Structure 1
Amino acid sequence: MPMGVVGPDPPAPPVASRVVATEATARRLHRRGIEATSDGRPAAGARHLRTGLAQLGWHEHDGFVPQPGSTRDAVVARLLISLAYAESELGRTDYGFDLLTAAEPLVDPDDNGVLLSQRALMLYRTGRYTDAMRFFDEAIPWLGAERHVAVLCSTLLNRASVHLHAGRVSAARADLRRCEQLARRHRLGMLAAKAIHNRGYCELLAGHLPASLEAFAAAESLYREHAPGYLPVLHAARARALLTAGLPTEAGRTLDDVITASRRQRLTQEQAEAELLRAQAALRAGDHAVASAWARRAERRFRRRSNAAWAELAALARLRSDLPRARRLSALAARARTVAVGLRAVQLLPDAEMADLVGVRALVAAGRADLAAALVATIPRTPPPTPIELHLMRRLARAELAWARGDRTRTATEIRVGLSTLQQHRSRLGSVDLQASIATLGRELATMGLDRAFDRGSAMGIFSWSERSRAQAFQIPPVHPPADPQAAEAIAELRQLRHGLRTAERGHPDTVLARARCAELERLIRERTWRVGGPRQSQRAARPADVLAELAATDRTLVSFLARAGRLEALLVDSGRVRLLPLGEHAAAREATARLLADLDVLAAGGLPGPIEDVIHASLRRNLRTVAEHVIRPMEALLGDRDLVLVPTMELSSIPWGLLPAMRGRPVTVAASASAWLAAQRSARSTAERAPAGRPFLVAGPGLRFAEAEIDEVARAHPGSRTLAGPDATVASTLGGLDGASIAHLAAHGHHERENVLFSCLDLVDGPLMAYDIEQLKATPRQVSLSACDVGRAVVRPGDEILGFTAALLYAGTESVVSSVATVSHPGAVAVMTRYHRALAAGVAPSRALADASYADPIAPFVCFGAG
């Protein structure tokens, strides 16, 4: 991030006079101008600087007569140098360089480094990186004087930015380290903040996302103290990191705010950069028309600023957004070549390679594999560190080319290596939120791998590829984050506010401010978890032979669902083989699922007049039949009478499987993937062979009429259980009891938070127990049942990555979770859970215990997740 040249003015002479007083006023205005510009308010800075120049007799259209030997000329020169940068930031770039030229004959020789540094900065801001580096290098030897320490810091900071644009991370780190040390030694808080900010860019470019977010957070606290006007610039940097993490929606929201703030502060470069990032966010979200519009807007703004380098970056974004919609692919390939040449001319080598790879893909799609191969041979390989997005694009383009040339082996290798690299990148992340979202980056590679497997027609091959790209976050060992006092404080406040809101919803006054504060705390907590590093290890996807062996050993059939081109298909895995079966329409199943969940919610609430209740029951039966028709019936005859393991896709994860006609009374286990199921099975077997786990643990939450009666019944099935109820059922006590328990049962009000899914929760006496709290457990219970509404629901991200309260338990290591995908009728839940735990205590497996326990209840939406 750039920093305008700052520092003290030339020392005033010791003589008191009217001239000296005027110069002192000009110096004060100079300082104000620098402060305003450095705080991200160049328009205000320019006003102060112009007023200072007028004090000294300099006017834009009038002549100015130098006074050799006077201090006035040196002050005028410093004002002009600072005004040049402010005007350039306001979009008057050529005029800014004219002001630097006007300053040259007036500059004090001791300030020559200041002039050189400012010229370098303005060249950098207009994308002339080679020239900028030359002037930065020339300026630094002139800046050794104590009074120039701030200018030296700024110069090091800005030179580091040039290094970063060229991908020279080590050189950038060295400049930033020296800048931060000087800034801290001389108490230059804003410069220290900007050095830390740019250190975040270094970490991002090196692929260390948690460290990058940590640096941005440290810079934010300093900006709030020293330069709040630069917060939009920092927020844009964080949005860039969110894009790298595969969170385009969150990045887009942040960037909308950044664009508004930059426009208000007349930060034209920052506004254009944010618009470019907004284009990239739309591209990641798959909204290509919106991406193209944002990129075109950014490109126009950069060209008005005479910033050729950034204009080429915007042209690249537009190129990428046009590729999926292009009709004249050969013309788009030619355009890509032009953009690549332009990017190399300004030393943006990773982006130039990206443009060339877009050209390769366009040529392949146009049927010109020969030209694509020739182009690939000429593309210079970007030196490391390679951005993850470029690495994946490189693999995707080469895979498409290999397929077009009939090289099936090379195609598979390129896709496999790309997905493996993505998994290595995922393993560096400790946050499940980010581990799940990162799949967005590899969506095209994963889709291609599956499509090519379908083209080859091997059901076993399709199964293997689906497992390489499905729910890969479950392959990462759980991370137990270190103690974070700030996060703990935020969670405590959030818990208190949510507890108050629960009461307020029953009649207390306006809660708008409390809700706004909750949203702010949720954002803070979520962002702090993103900074946790990952284990840097990952399990491999399960081999089909191992899955088949486990299914045979447990006498089960596995069904893995896929959605392609609007249709559902199933991989039926049993009896030592894999079969591919066509099912029904995806949209029809999705819509019927949404309707049946709504029916269940209405019926669970109770109190309906008889005729209306009959109508809702009829609707529920109709929607269950529709789901069954599109999801189960086409393969029903092949399912036999074995227990089932179901691996749903997308919205199918919310189906209450036990209510489908063909599934009544049949043991069903729902897993995120075959690999996740196999790992849970092995974990359960390994745990059972070790020393017995802790006592069963039962909790009754507040406000639930039959909760205490329920845990009393469950406790009878598990003698020696530890129970919590009434005022004892606090979050801290519940977490303490869950840690290391063999079996846990919680009867409480549940809430699925779709917009912020890891804040899905169970209500306890002092506030909510949230999905985020689960990661605190050192040893999660082996089996958990949740007699609560909705907490079996999940948000499903690309790659069938799932997030929610139940998913949080599974990620943390719980083997089996029984929970509800809809609102539950609590009297009915008491009966189901009592029967379930009696069977469980008798040694019956969770999935069979649930099937038997819920058979008599036609609206019990409980599902067994995990090992089963």
Structure 2
Amino acid sequence: MAPDHRSPKDIGEHARELHRKGIDATNSGHPVRGARLLRAALRLLDRPAPADGTLVARVLSTLGGVEVVLGNSDHGFELLDAAEEMPLAPGDRGALRQQRGLALILVGRMTDALACFDEAIPLLRRSGEPVALARALLNRALLHQTAGRVRLALADLDACAEIARAHGAVDGLPRTLAKALQGRGQAKVLTGDIPGALRDFSAAAEVYAEHGEGMLAPLAVDKGRALLAAGLPSEAAAELDLALARFPRLRMDQEHAEAELTRARAALAAGDLAGARRWAGRARRRFRRRGNDTWAEVAALTLLRADFTAGGRMKPVAVDAAELATRLTRLGLRNDAETAKLLAARANIAHAEPDAARAALEDRALPGGPLANRLLRYLARAELAWSTGDRRTTLAQARAGLKALEAYRNGFGSLDLRTGVASLGRDLAKTGLTAAWATGSPEVVFRWLERSRAQAFGIQQVHRPDGETADAVAELRQLAGEIRAAELDGTSAAEARRRCTELERRIRARGWEAEGAALQVSRATYRGVREELSKRDSVLIGFLADKDRFRAMVIDGRRASLLDLGDATVVSEALMRLQSDLNAVCGRTLPPALERVIRASVRRQVGVLAQELITPLLPELGDADVVVVPTGVLSIVPWGLLGPLRGRPVTVAPSPSAWLALSTAPAPETSDHAAVLAVAGPGLEHAASEAGRVAKVYPRAEVLAGNDATIEATSKALAEYDSVHLAAHGHHEQENVLFSRLDLADGPLMAYDVQLLESVPAHVVLSACDIGQAVVRPGDEILGFTAALLYSGSRTVISSVARVDDGAVVQVMESYHRALARGTVPARALADATCGEVLMPLVCFGR
């Protein structure tokens, strides 16, 4: 190397600049580049000429921390030791202690790290170094948060953010502010404020996009954790997969391992046990390679949870979980230790060791602990009571857990989150329903059906999106038009489709940030439902799933029964085949032999469903009208096609409460004097004819067809008319149900749009396609276009659970509306209109 003839002062200035750039690169999420710059700075300072000892110590400590980030832990701590051996001023000593504290966090030595930060922060306050003080507060907050001390974490984060805002011009503080916002979001996840957490993450992302693009990947991991806490494992997995694709080039080994562990939890929540084990195993190996035994133990907890969920030998799980709880307690991870202890209790219950389980449950719940642990404690106590034959305590513990979940749900403004969060109480609801059924009391079963079914219907809608969301929706509509045009031309629209997926994710994410209203959910009473059923000469069938069989609660104004029904697997297979057959034969001219085969299959599957689900109930039904409260796959049964129900009015409701609320609301006018709107969408051969024939039934009718059937005109009409008939192509989006849609002249009208309307028609007909389908989440929370109308206030929605022949449906719809105009109730009008149509899977939803 050629000799460097620069003065020591110039060399020092160059080293300081390299040090600054190294810190900047590392904090921007590029530690490999940061280490390279810091090593160059250290080489400049390692010369015979006198060097600035303080600067050498700072470069040594910063490089030591970065080496730990990169997985070179032993070398990193050697550099930190060397830095601390140098004579330093108190402020510089504080900076070194906070740097060592950060390195200790990365290797899982949390107690030692906290001691370092507790020493560093007073020194840094006295020395007046805002950047180092803000970072020390930020990192101590992380330690408090990890240990479950959320109040202390938030206090440090607020102090950090205040410093960062006050000294915003100082290099590095914008990123520190972003990290404080990110940390606040992490803490809010622990307190259950998911919308608030997501807003903080969005604010942090805006800063990172400008000042630290490499930090967007760790931020996505935190967002994934928040979505898991909201019961959306698939959405969490999507965020995590995007982050995991970026980590290899960022060389953030600790964050990479945390992302793998969070991905394991998402797989576990989704029921993918093999995936959970695979991701958790990867994370544990990566933590161990880094020497981070603390996080390796947290990964071991996820592996044990997967083993418990898989069933099998529970005794080893109980023993391992109890031992792991002890180790996690020693490491200061109180929340994780509590999870392990509760897991040990549940495994002991499953292993028929109630005394061991009782001992594990004697500890009080941690104050301020995460909701997941509180729900797990209620569940374990309910299971323990059930195992000892104490039904009353079983029901009380399950009820208390669901009440806590209800309070949590009320904080969500997003329908997506409100329906997703029910998954957190899935096992509690199942335990409560099982215990309720064992009482043999229809009234007790009714109350539990109410507690565990479609709770999102009891929470007020949140309207009005922000401007950014409105712009994204507008772009989404435009792209949908481009995609449709490309389909008609037979060309590709890959880029438009990619952009649509991105916009849908963005719109959903903005919706997740909306706060809810803490409203008291009003539930129907057993007596109230029976009185209304008596008035309407109706009988209610509440279906339940219990392991491998369906069950039914049947109640009317005079009596109530609990009955066991058919095999769940047989029903599911028949239903899937039936839907496939109906879609195959819909509106097509098939070879006669093939059509005969499909029609025979339709009759066979309909017969199986009737035999398994309805025939055992016939003595209880008499000749009354029927209200069905389905569960799971039963949400797509075309009830009117089943022999025992053909020609009988059948209404499908999400829950008894939803049915009673809709039934007792003021009824819209259904006579021939009613004001009715008929809309004909594009691409349906008979849509204009259908709309015209429907309009002729009513003197006060308006038709929107051709270029007049726009999104704006239809949306405006939806807020003005009591009754609307929509003859338009529908698309049920299984993977993103908020964007299920109807095709109109200038683009799609989406379920998302319906949720934003201030008012909707009391009566809506969706006569085409399979827009009556829904995604059914745990707790029988439903999402889809039909569900969006019901959530928004429509009393009755007529739609199909399989494809509809748009030629055959014209006469059916005219007959239906003529009956309505005579004052016939919707369910009866639909039953009469479809009675002679063996392939017309229209269903009356609501009331």
* TM category, shorter: over 0.9
Q: Distance in 1 between matches of 2:126 and 2:717?
A: 63
Partner of 2:7: 18
Q: Distance in 2 between matches of 1:320 and 1:602?
A: 43
Is 1:172 the equivalent of 2:128? no
Q: Distance in 1 between matches of 2:290 and 2:669?
A: 68
SS at 2:129 equivalent = helix
**Selected match of 1:39 from 16, 28, 41:** 28
Q: Map 1:515-554 to 2 at 5 A.
A: 515-554=497-536
Q: Distance in 2 between matches of 1:637 and 1:396?
A: 37
Whether the 8 Å contact between 1:326 and 1:332 is mirrored in structure 2 is no
Q: Map 1:358-507 to 2 at 5 A.
A: 358-377=343-362, 379-384=363-368, 386-480=369-463, 482-507=464-489
- Return closer, same or farther for 1:780/1:326 CA change in 2, 3 Å cut-off: closer
Q: Distance in 2 between matches of 1:354 and 1:773?
A: 40
SS at 2:200 equivalent = helix
Unaligned segments of structure 1, at least 5 residues = 1-15, 59-64
Query: How many Å apart are 1:531 and its aligned residue?
Result: 1.0
Is 1:196 the equivalent of 2:184? no
- Higher mean C-alpha deviation, range 766-775 or range 482-491: 482-491
Residues 805-864 of structure 1: per-residue CA shift (max 9 Å, x gap): 000111111111001112111122221111111211221111011111222322222110
Q: Map 1:771-790 to 2 at 5 A.
A: 771-790=751-770
Q: Distance in 2 between matches of 1:813 and 1:57?
A: 74
SS at 1:455 equivalent = helix
Whether the 8 Å contact between 2:8 and 2:51 is mirrored in structure 1 is no
Q: Distance in 2 between matches of 1:320 and 1:571?
A: 34
- Return closer, same or farther for 1:456/1:837 CA change in 2, 3 Å cut-off: same
Q: Map 1:804-843 to 2 at 5 A.
A: 804-843=784-823
SS at 1:106 equivalent = coil
Query: How many Å apart are 1:586 and its aligned residue?
Result: 1.7
SS at 1:835 equivalent = helix
Q: Distance in 2 between matches of 1:483 and 1:454?
A: 43
Is 1:587 the equivalent of 2:569? yes
- Higher mean C-alpha deviation, range 183-192 or range 411-420: 183-192
Partner of 2:702: 722
- Return closer, same or farther for 1:451/1:85 CA change in 2, 3 Å cut-off: same
Query: How many Å apart are 1:312 and its aligned residue?
Result: 2.6
Query: How many Å apart are 1:800 and its aligned residue?
Result: 1.5
SS at 1:506 equivalent = helix
Partner of 2:578: 596
Partner of 1:13: none
Partner of 1:61: none
- Return closer, same or farther for 1:457/1:116 CA change in 2, 3 Å cut-off: same
Q: Map 1:634-653 to 2 at 5 A.
A: 634-653=616-635
SS at 2:554 equivalent = strand
Is 1:765 the equivalent of 2:764? no
Which letter does structure 2 place at the counterpart of 1:698?
A
- Return closer, same or farther for 1:358/1:49 CA change in 2, 3 Å cut-off: same
Q: Distance in 2 between matches of 1:767 and 1:375?
A: 58
Query: How many Å apart are 1:684 and its aligned residue?
Result: 4.1
Partner of 1:798: 778
Is 1:670 the equivalent of 2:655? no
- Higher mean C-alpha deviation, range 108-117 or range 430-439: 108-117
Q: Distance in 2 between matches of 1:189 and 1:219?
A: 10
Is 1:620 the equivalent of 2:602? yes
- Return closer, same or farther for 1:694/1:214 CA change in 2, 3 Å cut-off: farther
SS at 1:580 equivalent = strand
Query: How many Å apart are 1:738 and its aligned residue?
Result: 0.7
Query: How many Å apart are 1:749 and its aligned residue?
Result: 0.8
Residues 194-232 of structure 1: per-residue CA shift (max 9 Å, x gap): 111111112211111111111111111211111111111
Q: Distance in 2 between matches of 1:359 and 1:594?
A: 39
Q: Distance in 1 between matches of 2:529 and 2:589?
A: 47
Provide TM-score, normalisation by structure 1: 0.92
Is 1:329 the equivalent of 2:311? no
Q: Distance in 2 between matches of 1:633 and 1:607?
A: 34
Residues 145-178 of structure 1: per-residue CA shift (max 9 Å, x gap): 8983222221121121122122232322222223
Whether the 8 Å contact between 1:684 and 1:782 is mirrored in structure 2 is no
- Return closer, same or farther for 1:343/1:688 CA change in 2, 3 Å cut-off: farther
- Return closer, same or farther for 1:516/1:457 CA change in 2, 3 Å cut-off: same
Q: Map 1:334-349 to 2 at 5 A.
A: 334-349=319-334
**Selected match of 2:215 from 230, 233, 236:** 230
Q: Using the aligned pairs only, state the percent identity.
A: 47
Which letter does structure 1 place at the counterpart of 2:346?
R
Query: How many Å apart are 1:642 and its aligned residue?
Result: 1.0
Which letter does structure 2 place at the counterpart of 1:329?
M
- Higher mean C-alpha deviation, range 517-526 or range 309-318: 309-318
Query: How many Å apart are 1:113 and its aligned residue?
Result: 1.9
Partner of 2:229: 244
Query: How many Å apart are 1:108 and its aligned residue?
Result: 4.0
Q: Map 1:145-156 to 2 at 5 A.
A: 148-156=129-137
Q: Distance in 2 between matches of 1:634 and 1:407?
A: 31
Whether the 8 Å contact between 1:333 and 1:363 is mirrored in structure 2 is yes
Query: How many Å apart are 1:289 and its aligned residue?
Result: 4.1
Query: How many Å apart are 1:764 and its aligned residue?
Result: 0.9
SS at 2:542 equivalent = strand
- Return closer, same or farther for 1:702/1:36 CA change in 2, 3 Å cut-off: same
SS at 1:505 equivalent = helix
- Higher mean C-alpha deviation, range 601-610 or range 111-120: 601-610
Query: How many Å apart are 1:133 and its aligned residue?
Result: 2.3
Query: How many Å apart are 1:494 and its aligned residue?
Result: 0.5
Which letter does structure 2 place at the counterpart of 1:610?
P
Is 1:73 the equivalent of 2:56? no
Q: Distance in 1 between matches of 2:403 and 2:570?
A: 35
Whether the 8 Å contact between 2:465 and 2:756 is mirrored in structure 1 is no
Q: Distance in 2 between matches of 1:230 and 1:496?
A: 32
Whether the 8 Å contact between 1:423 and 1:538 is mirrored in structure 2 is no
Query: How many Å apart are 1:442 and its aligned residue?
Result: 0.9
Whether the 8 Å contact between 2:452 and 2:779 is mirrored in structure 1 is yes
Q: Distance in 2 between matches of 1:708 and 1:716?
A: 12
Which letter does structure 2 place at the counterpart of 1:102?
A
Q: Distance in 1 between matches of 2:329 and 2:565?
A: 50
- Return closer, same or farther for 1:330/1:620 CA change in 2, 3 Å cut-off: closer
Q: Distance in 2 between matches of 1:696 and 1:326?
A: 56
Query: How many Å apart are 1:707 and its aligned residue?
Result: 2.1
SS at 1:772 equivalent = helix
Query: How many Å apart are 1:114 and its aligned residue?
Result: 1.2
Unaligned segments of structure 2, at least 5 residues = none
Residues 115-150 of structure 1: per-residue CA shift (max 9 Å, x gap): 111011112223333332222222223334898322
Q: Distance in 1 between matches of 2:772 and 2:127?
A: 64
SS at 1:703 equivalent = coil
Residues 357-409 of structure 1: per-residue CA shift (max 9 Å, x gap): 112222222222223223322x243012x311011001011112222333322
Partner of 2:544: 562
Q: Distance in 1 between matches of 2:541 and 2:76?
A: 67
SS at 1:143 equivalent = helix
Is 1:56 the equivalent of 2:45? yes
Which letter does structure 1 place at the counterpart of 2:419?
A
**Selected match of 2:111 from 102, 119, 130:** 130
Whether the 8 Å contact between 1:36 and 1:45 is mirrored in structure 2 is yes
SS at 1:550 equivalent = helix
Q: Distance in 2 between matches of 1:704 and 1:305?
A: 62
Q: Distance in 2 between matches of 1:693 and 1:809?
A: 24
- Higher mean C-alpha deviation, range 798-807 or range 157-166: 157-166
Which letter does structure 2 place at the counterpart of 1:341?
T
Whether the 8 Å contact between 1:596 and 1:620 is mirrored in structure 2 is yes
Paired residues, what number?
837
Partner of 1:88: 68
Partner of 2:495: 513
Q: CA RMSD in A?
A: 2.3
Query: How many Å apart are 1:784 and its aligned residue?
Result: 0.7
Provide TM-score, normalisation by structure 2: 0.95
